[in-house]
Amino acid sequence: MIDVCQWRASIGSWNCCQAATGPRSRYESDGESLPTRNCTSGRDKAPVFQASAVDLISFIVFFILSLCASRLTPTGHCISFQLLVDDDISGWLQLYVGASIVGSFNLFTVSFHLYFYFLLILLSGDVELNPGPETDKPDAPSLLCSASAELTQPISTTLYTVTDLLHAKRLIPLDTKREMYFKGETNEKKAGRLLITLETLLKASLNPEQYLINVCYILLSQKLDVLTEITVPILNQLGESIPDDHNITIILPPDDVQKYADALKQKYKDQPIVATEWPPRVGKDFFGRLTLIEGQDLDKKTADQRNWHMLRGQIDEIPNTLGSKGTIKIENLLKIGSSQIPKILVDGPPGIGKTTLCRKLLNMWSNEVFDCQYDLVLFCPLRNIKVAKAKELKDLFVYRTTSDRERKVVEWMSENEGKGVFIIFDGWDELSDKLKKSSLAASIIRNEMLAFCSVVVTSRSYASASLSALPSINRYIQIIGFSVEEISTVVIKTLQNDPTLADNLIDENKCNSILNSFFKTTQNSKNSQLAVKLVNDLKVRGDVQSLCYIPMVCSMVILVYWKEGGQLPTTLTQLYENFILQTIKKDIKRKQPEADTRYIVSLDDLPLELPSLFKNLCQLAYTNLAATRLTFSLQQSNQFLTEAAKEDYLGLLTKFRECDEEKYQFLHLSIQEFLAAWWIVKYDNTETKFNNYFHNEHFKMCLRFVAGLTHLEHESYQQYFNRGIDLQCKKNPLRKFETSHNHWFYKYLNSDTGILDYDYQIRIINLEDLEVLLLQLLYESQNTELCQLFAQSMKGNSLCLMCNSDRQVDFIKLGLFDWLCLGYFISSSGIKWNQLDLGKVREQSLSVFKTGLSGTSQSQCTKMILHLQGNSNATLALNFLNKPLLQNIQQLIFKCSQCDTGLVLMQLFNLPQLKMLHLTCTFDTDLDETSYASKCTELEQCIKRNLKVQELIIIQTINTKCKLLELFITSLIRGITQNRMITSFTLEQIDSIRSNHLVTGSMLESLLKENSTLQALSMNIPNHCISLSVNEVKEMSRLTALEISGSILMNSLLPCIEGLKCLILPLPYSPCLIFKSHPNLQQLTLQLDTAKSINDFFTNLQTNTTLRALRVEVKEGSVYTICSIGRHHCYSSDYVHSNTDYKKCMSASSYMSIITTGIMLNTGLQQLSIPVFLPITNKEIKEFLTVIFQKHNITELEIHFQLDQTYYFQNDEKK
């Protein structure tokens, strides 16, 4: 036997070999091509490409192996070393040799990697063109579609008989039958319409083949020759054996069965889908509330992972766990396979909606939504003792009818072995162990009787293991409750009674639901506004939303929200106290309808007979929580339950049977946690228990409730918040070169820290150091004194929301509720924060954080870093910056997406203490030209009057053509020209389109002439944005640091500026002019592009004594290697002497000689960054390194090893 994968790989290799010889597949011969790609494109070039690739790889590997061999020790091990290579080399090495061996090498490993990759290239082929052998399987919809034209006329002759039979066999709904009988059309048109309906239902069928077989048998039973000639071939293709005489008789269920089924349908239609009475049911219909997960053979680890997500309300994570096959719709629940009878297990925790699912299935059958042919659907709740102990089939009938009819229905079910019957057993966990083995329900589920009967059985998760192991169970479904999107739907449809308004509101916010953004509404309906407010509140209150996946808890939250007049309580503790109080009052009213419960306003004010019972329940909750028990028996808790049973457990417990024993469970785990917290606070040693369980993951929610009930007022709680946590922005130390650069351009900041790039701000601590639990405890307790203590204990009075994540900079991802807690903490801290680095923040998060900041806060902030992500609203950010917290801010690094840069600058310049502003944004405005011109005049005056800002950095992107941008740039530069405080100005214009001229010569001339305070200027503006001619600017400047890009700016500004101490140039410029005009230059970045410029620069460097930091870049193609000359004939001596461009180049050997001499004779350099081109001789590299090692003045060295760029060019020429 040959493996299919091997066969496909072989075909792929054969195709690869055939590529060079011509057409090799039907696609080429027919002139067709696959939609995914052109499989034949470039085929003729394939051999050349492979040869050149091997050639290049061989060269690279030869070089690396040679280098490694020279580093091998006598023992054969490679000495560790660091090799700096450019992106091209790194990419080739990682692709062809393997990323794991780029840093340290082993000859065997390199050889193995090369062999392996060449083998892959050899075996690669177009497998997509050879998917393997295909099996011709009859497609039921296609069969019916191809025969429909021939079927129309013969069906019209017996239309009403066929219609009656199709409806009797549940192949068409009642509405279709009505159309056939009452619509005023010819029989032929009705027959065509009937076929259209059959095709539609066939495509949607659970079992299309069987559906078509049933239709064909009904047509065959009409004994018409035309229908026989059409249907018999279809049945043969579907594998059906047909009698030679084609004598087919359709047997319909007896009249008594049909009448009983009709009675059941009416009963199922009349009953509500959601059956719960308390808490009040949410919504009036099913509307996709339940998410179903299909999984089989779940191991314990996977089950524990799912239970953990379920316990914490992380419902949307469950479909991603192992064993899951994704969510499925209820309409597809019974779609198993053509040869299988559905036997389905559905499990889930209490209150999740298992019974609701059953009722929905009944409703779908009664409304003929099912396309499968079920003549009878029985609902059998196993909590019904008669059903659980049933000995005969008639005992399963919850809805009773005459004994004679019941007898006939039972006989029909038995004779047909359950064919056409669907039974729903609800509550397997309600059965005793004995009944799970010997009951009638168990026999049907195990296929011991009614073998052709479809079955759905529901169970709580703890009792489903015995069922899932049965071989008869062919599908395992878990109900995991509402998704986040469905919670919003539930809220809207529950609070908005008008179905039309509710549907419109849902449609209005479809995009917001997908993007998880805040909902909005234009409706004037109070109920709609209340619904939107609750949806948005739940997005913020993630702690509450994470509990709402269970329908019962979701109902509880909606109830409390409604009772509180459209307000969620501030804390989770208040929410649960309110709900439990409402539950107890409801229980009292149920037993004593005349009782007045209006005066029961808290759990401390319960009527005289209830406090002791409530105390027992609280002790019961704590005892079982401490023992990690969610369910408990009477023997385990007899002393507590006996008295509570008299009052029906105050409506807070549910009772069920397991293993012939009554067991109990609280309505929800969170209710048990609240009652346990009440016990700890009211009747136990609170502080001791808090300390004992502080690090217990199982008790985290309980401790939040303890914090809410005690407000953490006892002094013992201070130990958790006075811990000296270090959350400062610990940054990787900058290299001296970057430190020197910051010294010239950003003097106001500490020179050893970066400000423009987050890459320098890498936290060394872990994510957990933020102690989110402490923030949640502070919010729950609403204790401002603890907030102040916690803030004062933080080292450096700084908070940074960044961390190390897999050696990459990452930002701590907080939920919306965590942002609310953080805002409350900072607002209540009452200290002066030296730095708050909020990192990357979405608009929703910032809005919630702003909500947490109190308007009367005494807290202050000196420096803030804020990156507003997404299509953010700059107005929101500006409103946030106007909070009292930021009124004395001195340094602000602010990045947002589209905004009106001018308006943002005006508001930021109004911050009274701002000294440094770094703004990154994309220019955009909604104003017309006249209005914007007026605003730009205000901006110019605002900058002119500024007496605080000293350093201004603006990085701006242009995505759309905007004439108004020129107004902004003009006003900005004029304002800075007249300003007498700004000492450093950076303007970077990132132009994704070709904008109009934004900067003119007169503007720059005025800036250099009239501004006497500006010392550092950095301008990165594309040439096409500048209206400036060479030598137009003639005013001399007092600048000490200059960074410019673009040839126009460089050639216009440099001649009129002398005496610079720092010069950053990304383009070539005459070295002689630089050293002549700036004799005191201390830092320089320069690109060299010719042999003359290289020679001039390093000749001048030999006698220079002022330069301290030097970064040299060499333009591509300016240096060539000996290897390239020897390898390519185009670098012959004739070519070298005749080619003008080549005369501008310098050999790698000469290059190494001149840079070695220049560095050797220079006495001032301390930081040096320089490229070295490979390959070169060992002697040349040895001489260079010897000089470097002897230069004690050089403290920082960066060498970029690069392959000769001309190699690639000449290699292409040869090809």
The span from the CA of 108 to the CA of 116, in Å, is 12
Q: Is residue 415 part of a domain?
A: yes
If asked whether residues 452 and 331 sit together in one domain, one would say yes
pLDDT at 667 over 90: no
Check residue 398 and give its pLDDT. Answer: 86
Check residue 282 and give its pLDDT. Answer: 57
pLDDT at 699 over 50: yes
Number of domains in the chain: 6
Q: Is residue 738 part of a domain?
A: no
Check residue 1053 and give its pLDDT. Answer: 78
495 within 8 A of 559, measured Cβ to Cβ: no
987 within 8 A of 970, measured Cβ to Cβ: no
Beta-bridge mates of residue 1199: 1170
The span from the CA of 1127 to the CA of 1160, in Å, is 32
Domain boundary among 536, 568, 600: 568
* pLDDT bucket at 752, cuts 50 / 70 / 90: very low
If asked whether residues 381 and 467 sit together in one domain, one would say yes
Residue-wise pLDDT tens digits, 819-843 = 889 999 999 998 999 989 888 888 8
CB atoms closer than 10 angstroms to residue 88: 12
The span from the CA of 1138 to the CA of 761, in Å, is 53
Check residue 1121 and give its pLDDT. Answer: 64
pLDDT at 193 over 60: yes
If asked whether residues 343 and 468 sit together in one domain, one would say yes
CATH code of the domain containing 467: 3.40.50.300
If asked whether residues 1165 and 1106 sit together in one domain, one would say yes
* pLDDT bucket at 696, cuts 50 / 70 / 90: confident
Q: Is residue 1153 part of a domain?
A: yes
Residue-wise pLDDT tens digits, 108-166 = 334 444 444 444 444 444 444 444 444 455 788 888 888 988 999 999 999 999 998 88
Give the residue-averaged pLDDT of 786-809.
76
If asked whether residues 342 and 487 sit together in one domain, one would say no
Q: Is residue 519 part of a domain?
A: yes
Check residue 1036 and give its pLDDT. Answer: 65
Give the residue-averaged pLDDT of 23-28.
33
CATH code of the domain containing 1112: 3.80.10
Q: Is residue 747 part of a domain?
A: no
Residue-wise pLDDT tens digits, 535-554 = 988 888 877 887 787 777 78
pLDDT at 64 over 60: no
Domain boundary among 204, 232, 251: 251
The span from the CA of 578 to the CA of 557, in Å, is 10
Helix (H, G, I), strand (E, B) or coil at 1140: helix
- What single string gives the DSSP state of each residue in 79-104? PP----B-HHHHHHHIIIIIGGGSSS
Give the residue-averaged pLDDT of 420-444.
89
* Range of weakest confidence among 71-85, 606-620, 892-906, 1000-1014: 71-85
Model's pTM, two decimal places? Answer: 0.65
If asked whether residues 325 and 462 sit together in one domain, one would say yes
The span from the CA of 944 to the CA of 1007, in Å, is 13
If asked whether residues 268 and 382 sit together in one domain, one would say yes
Check residue 875 and give its pLDDT. Answer: 73
The span from the CA of 499 to the CA of 386, in Å, is 39
If asked whether residues 176 and 315 sit together in one domain, one would say no
pLDDT at 306 over 70: no
Check residue 903 and give its pLDDT. Answer: 87
The span from the CA of 826 to the CA of 886, in Å, is 12
Domain that residue 585 falls in: 574-710
Check residue 126 and give its pLDDT. Answer: 44
Q: Which residues contact 871 (CB under 8 A, 6 or more apart)?
A: 843, 897, 898
Check residue 867 and give its pLDDT. Answer: 86
Q: Calculate the average pLDDT of the chain.
A: 75
Between 1180 and 61, name the one with better pLDDT: 1180
* pLDDT bucket at 881, cuts 50 / 70 / 90: confident
Check residue 47 and give its pLDDT. Answer: 37
If asked whether residues 78 and 159 sit together in one domain, one would say no
Check residue 85 and give its pLDDT. Answer: 42
pLDDT at 410 over 60: yes
Between 568 and 45, name the one with better pLDDT: 568
If asked whether residues 542 and 584 sit together in one domain, one would say no
pLDDT at 189 over 60: yes
Residue-wise pLDDT tens digits, 207-220 = 788 788 888 988 98
- What single string gives the DSSP state of each residue in 558-595? HHHHHHTTS---SSHHHHHHHHHHHHHHHHHHHH-TT-
Check residue 1132 and give its pLDDT. Answer: 38
Check residue 444 and give its pLDDT. Answer: 94
- Strongest mean pLDDT among 248-252, 706-710, 1011-1015, 1115-1119: 706-710
* pLDDT bucket at 92, cuts 50 / 70 / 90: very low
Check residue 183 and give its pLDDT. Answer: 78
Residue-wise pLDDT tens digits, 764-792 = 444 454 578 888 899 999 999 999 999 99
Domain boundary among 450, 480, 510: 480
If asked whether residues 514 and 585 sit together in one domain, one would say no
Helix (H, G, I), strand (E, B) or coil at 480: coil
Check residue 312 and give its pLDDT. Answer: 43
* pLDDT bucket at 532, cuts 50 / 70 / 90: very high
Among 843, 834, 702, smallest CA distance to 773 is for: 702
Helix (H, G, I), strand (E, B) or coil at 839: strand
pLDDT at 1060 over 70: yes
Q: Which residues contact 349 (CB under 8 A, 6 or more apart)?
A: 310, 460, 461, 550
246 within 8 A of 227, measured Cβ to Cβ: no
* pLDDT bucket at 803, cuts 50 / 70 / 90: low
- What single string gives the DSSP state of each residue in 1043-1101? EEESHHHHHHHGGG----SEEEEEEE--HHHHHHH-TT--EEEEEE-SHHHHHHHHHHH
* pLDDT bucket at 1025, cuts 50 / 70 / 90: confident
Check residue 1007 and give its pLDDT. Answer: 85
The span from the CA of 533 to the CA of 464, in Å, is 39
Give the residue-averaged pLDDT of 186-196.
90
Tell me the percentage of the chain whose pLDDT exceeds 90: 21
Between 79 and 311, name the one with better pLDDT: 311
Check residue 84 and give its pLDDT. Answer: 43
The span from the CA of 1058 to the CA of 815, in Å, is 54
The span from the CA of 202 to the CA of 146, in Å, is 14
* Range of weakest confidence among 727-741, 800-814, 883-897: 800-814
pLDDT at 680 over 90: yes
* Range of weakest confidence among 915-919, 1003-1007, 1158-1162: 1003-1007
- Strongest mean pLDDT among 261-275, 389-403, 506-520, 1096-1110: 1096-1110
Q: Is residue 474 part of a domain?
A: yes
Q: Is residue 48 part of a domain?
A: yes
Give the residue-averaged pLDDT of 997-1025.
83
Check residue 55 and give its pLDDT. Answer: 46
385 within 8 A of 418, measured Cβ to Cβ: no
Give the residue-averaged pLDDT of 967-977.
91
Check residue 270 and give its pLDDT. Answer: 85
Give the residue-averaged pLDDT of 966-979.
91
Check residue 1193 and give its pLDDT. Answer: 87
If asked whether residues 68 and 34 sit together in one domain, one would say yes
Tell me the percentage of the chain whose pLDDT exceeds 70: 72
Q: Is residue 884 part of a domain?
A: no
* pLDDT bucket at 714, cuts 50 / 70 / 90: very high
Residue-wise pLDDT tens digits, 844-856 = 788 888 888 876 7
pLDDT at 641 over 60: no
Q: Which amino acid would we find at residue 540?
A: V
